[in-house]
A and B are shown apart, each in its own frame.
Chain A
Amino acid sequence: MIKIGIAVFPGSNCDRDVHHVLNNIIDVKADFLWHTHDRISGYDAMIIPGGFAFGDRLRAGIIAAHSPIIKEVKRMAKDGTPVLGICNGFQILVESGLLPGALMMNDSLRFVCRWTQVQVVNNRTPFTGNFGQEEIFHIPVAHGEGRYVASAPILKDLRRKNQIVLQYAGDDPNGSTDLIAAICNEEGNVMGMMPHPERASESLLTSDRGNNAIGIFRSLASFLQQEQKAIV
């Protein structure tokens, strides 16, 4: 059985939501892992959920980036384990150096919670494999600091190496460069995204917008299943 670890920090608040979707909707095993864990084994992937880790003190994600569990996440990422950061999780991945660039205050200077659409720009990651290239789906955002920015050389690299995974489609909730909603590392096994797929995984919660965003988690599950088969 696939096992996914959910990193929980003081102030994480989407941990239970991700846990519910993974265990009850996708049907994979997911466990909460408290931030003090310094030896993680037996997990096929790690998810860093949204929230306000350490209350966003100093800067969103910065304190969490120096926690014991992130040290482990870094090690796992280096070994090729898929790591997904959602919202505050994306901010933590950026602050820990696993992903390039930075997430700045939205251009509206206000927190924004609403539905948007994203387009799959790269469907060859562990998190987007079940989507069609250029597929567009509905998904909500909820963040104050979600405007992705990076220096010109980094952006050039991101484009060249196909690291832009999702872009906002026909909408711009926060002023991100190139409408970036998600990026991955060069190897593709670490992805950070600002929108919340766990909030759009059940049709009861998505109104008439569809729950295609569940594809993020389903892609991960399929990827891990393929991997397990390959090993067997």
Chain B
Amino acid sequence: MGVLTKHELDYLERSLKRKANETEQDIVGAEWSEHCSYKSSKNYLRQLPTKGIRVVVGPGYDAGVLDIGNGYVITVHIESHNHPSAVEPFGGAATGVGGVIRDIMSMGTRPIAVLDALRFAPIKGASKLSMKSRWLFKNVVKGIADYGNCIGIPTVGGEVEFDESFNDYCLVDVASIGFGRKQDIVANQADVGDVLVLAGGSTGRDGIHGASFASKALDAENRSAVQIPDPFLEKLLLEATMEAIRAGCVKGIKDLGGGGLSCCLSETSDSLGKGFDVELSNVNAREGGMTPAELMISESQERMLYVTSNEKLPALKSVLDKYEIRYSILGTVQEHQDLVVRNSGGVVASMPSHLVAHAPLAERSSRRPKYLDALKSVKRPAVPSDLGMAFLSLLADPTIASKRWVYNQYDHEVGIRTVIKPGMGDAAVLRLNTDDKLVAIKLDGNSKHCYLDPYQGTLGCLSEGRRNVICTGAEPIGVVDHLQFASPEDPEVFWTFTQAVKAIVDYCNFIEIPVVGGKVSFYNETAKGPIKPSIVMGTLGLIENLSHVTKTTLSSGDSIFIIGHTASEMGGSEYYEYLHGITGGAVPKVDLEQDRHNGDATLKVIRDRLARSVHDCSKGGLAVALAEMAIAGRTGLRIDLDAIPNSCKSPDDLLFSESHSRYIVATSKPDQVRSFLSSEGVVFDQIGRAEGTTLEFSKGRNRIVNLPLGKAEAAYYSLEETMK
């Protein structure tokens, strides 16, 4: 079928010292797809700082594992399902959730939460493109809801961004975190003679060439490459896996995802350092007449591979029987180092597992894109005569507006862990049943910033993630990255990838936070062109004292402080892009020293219980951040813009600049906060108070914005109306 390049086929046959048959080529083709092999990105990803005192397992496994003390661990993973969701949004998004949940299960931990980061074309208006975008948005959300709700794992947070570079396309990123005992982390060791058990769904023709499909530009709608979701079966697999691990009858686990059995078997065999003999006629096929290659590369969902000993096999069988899960004995662990595939006895493929599991790396050239210079400077828009109206429009900007329409469709409370629920804080906070510990998690991306400046834009995503978990009272302990671009074969696209990696390396080294997992997704483009570089960072934080949990809800009477400096860095801001239709200008720069300092000081303010509510400034800037706090607390506020530490050229910049490293702190103890922040030496000032029933912003003697709270609320909650 020719999914291997000529160079790859040559390499394969040189290594095998013989011709590779068609089945072998298909197996290798699946595993060597960009999606499974990271052949373009691997060399760069090696630079990421992955070590840390809490890191038990870093990138390269199904999920990263962080030690949170007392014998407990948190696992985390992020995945995308972009191509499938763009052609079949419901099934594509749902199976994306299924995949990431299985990754968490594979580590031996119970998934306790799901988050989603979604990107679509603009949804407002009656154009064909916006109608299509609404259709995609609606069905992606429904797919995630149906899957997560049914399986009983809460979807607790995320983000949604709208941008024209996603016309006729969408990005669907799903992250999951798990929680468990360190001793239950599956060791993944096997001995010769151990048994391979394939359990779960039957293997059908859905998702054939899914990984290869995801490794090319989306030029034709290929629905047969999209898998079919069955959350009920996944729920059974989840419970059975947890029970089997507790019963000690699992020596190794691997879920089946992209590349199907090909990837699962070659990677597991390679990581165990043992060979596998498998017999395909034992696979529960959904239909007759499937070829060995089809069986090997099918991406049918809800399947798990267990490695167990002959002694423990009966115990594993009885757990699977209890849940009425179908399984088959697929094969055995062997002394040799090969993946030997038989069909009714005859060998159809036999290759060294290490060879299959390690694609030859692809050399990609990179070149700084020309568009960057053209977009460097833009003409500043005239300051709107009515800044209140501009403010109101921004609150209704779907990227900024409340995502209540989304999260009310997600069961975000099942599992009774969700302490900070969607809409209440900057990150989701879940309790863990160990002492007073809680975990905070948030996903952040900004394609508009990353397009104009991939390096600073990526730093910004990291800074925002750190800010978000700090605002809830958590100490950031790890990140996962999801790097999404168009074709890596385009040197200009590839340059943006290298810049993003450089930013992650620089930020994480400076802040000293490990990267514990991630995913790279290339070929995100349609006939209409490439997507903007879309970096999504997932940041994890740990709260070790219940009283540190902090929300964004403003209380009437509280004094409002800002920490951090506001500058006229308007490139890629929602104010420029959404309100004025301007793409270009300098994006906000992250000053690493300031970023660390401001975050640390804010966390100390929270831990000293000086803050009642805390919120960071991000999309829409200071004005939007304050409005969100006021709306949550149902109180008005009065702000003196002149009190804000700034170097802005105009009042609109001051209101809507998306400068990083800024925190808003509301307190009933202004004197203590002032003296504490002074002693910390951070840039800060007291800028106003929560009072009244309007959002009032003054500059000098002029009240330049005075918006009734009710009006702001209506705009902020307008997504329901948009999606009707």
Q: Are A111 and B416 in contact (CB under 8 A)?
A: no
Q: Are A10 and B235 in contact (CB under 8 A)?
A: yes
- In the assembled complex, which residues on chain B have CB atoms less than 8 Å from the CB atom of A110? 142, 408-409
Q: Are A52 and B235 in contact (CB under 8 A)?
A: yes
Q: Are A55 and B431 in contact (CB under 8 A)?
A: no
Residue from the list A11, A20, A114 in contact with B235, Cβ < 8 A: A11
Does A142 have its Cβ within 8 Å of any Cβ on chain B? yes
B421's closest neighbor in chain A, by CB? A207
Residue from the list B145, B322, B418 in contact with A111, Cβ < 8 A: B145
Does B231 have its Cβ within 8 Å of any Cβ on chain A? yes
Q: Are B150 and A56 in contact (CB under 8 A)?
A: yes
Q: Are A10 and B236 in contact (CB under 8 A)?
A: yes
B 375-414 contacts with A by CB, 8 A? 407-414
The proximity string for A residues 95-122 relative to B, scoring 1 for CB distances below 8 Å and 0 otherwise, is 0000000000000001111100000000
Q: Are A111 and B414 in contact (CB under 8 A)?
A: no
Does A222 have its Cβ within 8 Å of any Cβ on chain B? no
Q: Are A205 and B414 in contact (CB under 8 A)?
A: no
Q: Are A17 and B414 in contact (CB under 8 A)?
A: yes
- B109 shortest CB reach to chain A, Å: 15
Asked, given contacts A57-B232, A142-B149, whether A14 binds B409 with beta carbons under 8 Å apart, the answer is no
Does A85 have its Cβ within 8 Å of any Cβ on chain B? no
Does B192 have its Cβ within 8 Å of any Cβ on chain A? no
Main secondary structure, interface of A, reads: mixed
B155's closest neighbor in chain A, by CB? A113
Q: Are A13 and B235 in contact (CB under 8 A)?
A: yes
> Which of A110, A113, A198 counts the most B-chain CB atoms under 10 A from its CB?
A113
Bound complex: CA A228 to CA B171 (Å): 59
Q: Are A142 and B414 in contact (CB under 8 A)?
A: yes
The total of chain A residues at the interface (CB under 8 A) is: 31
Does B419 have its Cβ within 8 Å of any Cβ on chain A? yes
Does B324 have its Cβ within 8 Å of any Cβ on chain A? yes
B 73-98 contacts with A by CB, 8 A? none
The total of chain B residues at the interface (CB under 8 A) is: 32
Residue from the list B146, B232, B410 in contact with A10, Cβ < 8 A: B232
Q: Are A207 and B149 in contact (CB under 8 A)?
A: no
Q: Are A111 and B411 in contact (CB under 8 A)?
A: yes
> Which of B231, B233, B414 counts the most A-chain CB atoms under 10 A from its CB?
B414
Bound complex: CA A198 to CA B414 (Å): 10
Bound complex: CA A10 to CA B323 (Å): 7
Bound complex: CA A204 to CA B409 (Å): 23
Q: Are A113 and B415 in contact (CB under 8 A)?
A: no
Q: Are B150 and A114 in contact (CB under 8 A)?
A: no
Q: Are B419 and A205 in contact (CB under 8 A)?
A: yes
Q: Are A17 and B415 in contact (CB under 8 A)?
A: yes
- In the assembled complex, which residues on chain A have CB atoms less than 8 Å from the CB atom of B408? 110, 112-114
- In the assembled complex, which residues on chain A have CB atoms less than 8 Å from the CB atom of B152? 13-14, 51-52
Q: Are A20 and B149 in contact (CB under 8 A)?
A: no
- In the assembled complex, which residues on chain B have CB atoms less than 8 Å from the CB atom of A16? 415
The proximity string for A residues 176-200 relative to B, scoring 1 for CB distances below 8 Å and 0 otherwise, is 0000000000000000000010110
Bound complex: CA A110 to CA B720 (Å): 12
Bound complex: CA A1 to CA B421 (Å): 36
- In the assembled complex, which residues on chain B have CB atoms less than 8 Å from the CB atom of A198? 416
B422's closest neighbor in chain A, by CB? A113
Residue from the list A20, A52, A113 in contact with B409, Cβ < 8 A: A113
Does B187 have its Cβ within 8 Å of any Cβ on chain A? no
Bound complex: CA A16 to CA B112 (Å): 12
Residue from the list B231, B232, B410 in contact with A113, Cβ < 8 A: B410
- A213 shortest CB reach to chain B, Å: 12
Does B347 have its Cβ within 8 Å of any Cβ on chain A? no
B110's closest neighbor in chain A, by CB? A16
- In the assembled complex, which residues on chain B have CB atoms less than 8 Å from the CB atom of A55? 150, 230-233, 235
Residue from the list B145, B232, B415, B419 in contact with A52, Cβ < 8 A: B232
The proximity string for B residues 129-148 relative to A, scoring 1 for CB distances below 8 Å and 0 otherwise, is 00000000000001001100
> Which of A16, A56, A111 counts the most B-chain CB atoms under 10 A from its CB?
A111
B138's closest neighbor in chain A, by CB? A110
Q: Are A13 and B414 in contact (CB under 8 A)?
A: yes
B413's closest neighbor in chain A, by CB? A199
Asked, given contacts A14-B152, A56-B150, whether A142 binds B413 with beta carbons under 8 Å apart, the answer is yes
Bound complex: CA A14 to CA B152 (Å): 8
Does A72 have its Cβ within 8 Å of any Cβ on chain B? no
Does B151 have its Cβ within 8 Å of any Cβ on chain A? yes
Does B424 have its Cβ within 8 Å of any Cβ on chain A? yes
Bound complex: CA A158 to CA B145 (Å): 34
A 43-71 contacts with B by CB, 8 A? 50-52, 54-57
A140's closest neighbor in chain B, by CB? B413
Does A202 have its Cβ within 8 Å of any Cβ on chain B? yes
Residues of B in contact with A (beta carbons under 8 Å apart): 142, 145-146, 149-152, 230-233, 235-236, 322-324, 407-416, 418-419, 421, 424, 431, 546
Can you list 13 residue pairs at the A/B interface with Cβ under 8 Å? Answer: A10-B235, A11-B150, A17-B414, A17-B415, A17-B416, A21-B416, A54-B232, A55-B230, A56-B150, A57-B232, A114-B408, A140-B413, A205-B418
Residues of A in contact with B (beta carbons under 8 Å apart): 10-11, 13-14, 16-17, 20-21, 34, 50-52, 54-57, 110-114, 140, 142, 144, 196, 198-199, 202, 204-205, 207
In the complex, besides A13-B235, A113-B411, 12 extra interface pairs with C-beta distance below 8 angstroms are A11-B150, A11-B232, A34-B322, A51-B152, A55-B232, A55-B233, A56-B232, A110-B408, A142-B149, A142-B413, A198-B416, A207-B424
